[in-house]
Amino acid sequence: MRVSTAQFYFQNGLQMSQKQTMVNDQSAYISSGLSVLTAKDDAVSYGALAGYKEELASIERYQSNITQAESRNGLQDTLLGSSTDLLNELRDLMLQANNGTRSDEDLTSIAQQLQQGLDEMLDIANTQDETGTYIYAGYDVESKPFSIEPDNTVNYGGDNGVRELQIAKNIFIPINQSGEDVFQNVANATGDFSANYSTNESGVSLASATITDREQYNGVTNSSQDYTFTFSDPDVLTITEFGNPTNIVHSASYVAGQTITFDGIEVELNGNPLPGDEFTISPQSEVSIFDTIKDSINWLNSGSSAASTEQGQVDFNTILNQFNNVLNHVTYQRADAGINLQQIDRQKNIHLDTELYLEQGRSQIEDLDYAQAISGFEQSQLALQAAQQTFTQIQSMSLFNYI
């Protein structure tokens, strides 16, 4: 068979190009440290690697969210711990103030300390995280959630939104608590109603007023849903619709300790009322932390004379009971943050174990065997050099060399 010069050059060029490609490929494997670079290397392994890498990328995203969620819940845990310490101090101040030897000046001094405590609690409620967002504002993270009026009334301007981060395929973790839930929605120590005392010579007080039959309660004609309790001689209790004394909902002899039932409501009283005692109950199932501190300040500012009366002691006991409810409430909210941190910690460990397993699987498929790769590279390089030398020698041959 005749071999033309053009065909000779083409075949040798193709051969050297193939061997050069092999050398380049081997060099790429060695420099990257990987045995599978493209699907043509090993289609099955390449597909498996894509799965491993996708799972590892998901874990990396989850770990980033975990870091953020851990930081947010850790901050809330710290803030609620500080709130508990502060509230305990304020309650202790109230206990110290309820002493017959305290002067008006003493009570004023304690009131100033509670005012500082109210300001500190407001600062806690308006805390911002490291990004400058308000953690107790719900979804409205750019606006300060709590504001205070001159009379110490604190208003909430946020919403009930709870933001979440995904820390696993089917697990979302809260990264904030609603300011309303934490600071506003504290269960009233007396149940679903609060009392406002008009005349109270005996020191009678509302122990509890609870709605036990919601359907019956909602069906009453009392538009204000306030009720006035009036005691008359001989030991007769009359309950009327507030502002409408002709609408009598209950009238009977009162026996200390008995449960009074009307309009789907159950009421219990403390003490032995006297004829002429009168008070009104109004719907209020929740009392904010700020209102509890505000009531304490108002009680202290009323002076030693007012504080020492029967009504003053009733008000003091109501405030103290509400302080206990506040402390329980904050402890419960802090427990929520603690539960979140426990779940985050468990998921973090799960991700670490899963990541190790996935990395081992990826490594077995993708990581290069350097000894084998270097050996293959040297063989390919040697083959390329041999082909180049052979081509050089053959192309220089001529018949004139033999004439």
**What are the pLDDT digits (tens) for 121-137?**
999 999 999 889 999 99
pLDDT (0 to 100) of residue 375: 54
The DSSP 8-state label assigned to residue 402 in this structure reads G
| CB contact at 8 A, 200 and 314 | yes
Under the banding of pLDDT at 50, 70 and 90, the label for residue 321 is very high
Provide the 10 A C-beta neighbour count for residue 57: 10
Q: What is the pTM of this model?
A: 0.79
> How far apart, in whole angstroms, are the C-alpha atoms of residue 258 and residue 254?
8
Q: Across residues 371-380, what is the average pLDDT?
A: 53
pLDDT (0 to 100) of residue 369: 43
Q: Token pair for residue 146?
A: 């709590």
183-192 pLDDT tens trace: 999 999 999 9
Give just the sign of the alpha carbon dihedral 186, 188, 194, 199.
negative
pLDDT (0 to 100) of residue 370: 45
Radius of gyration of the CA atoms of the chain, in A: 40
**pLDDT higher than threshold 80 for residue 213:** yes
> How far apart, in whole angstroms, are the C-alpha atoms of residue 106 and residue 186?
30
Under the banding of pLDDT at 50, 70 and 90, the label for residue 81 is very high
Q: Token pair for residue 46?
A: 């390449």
| CB contact at 8 A, 229 and 247 | no
Provide the 10 A C-beta neighbour count for residue 21: 12
Which residues on neighbouring strands pair with residue 268, listed in sequence order? 208, 259
Give me the helix-helix angle, 43-97 and 104-125, nearest 10°: 170
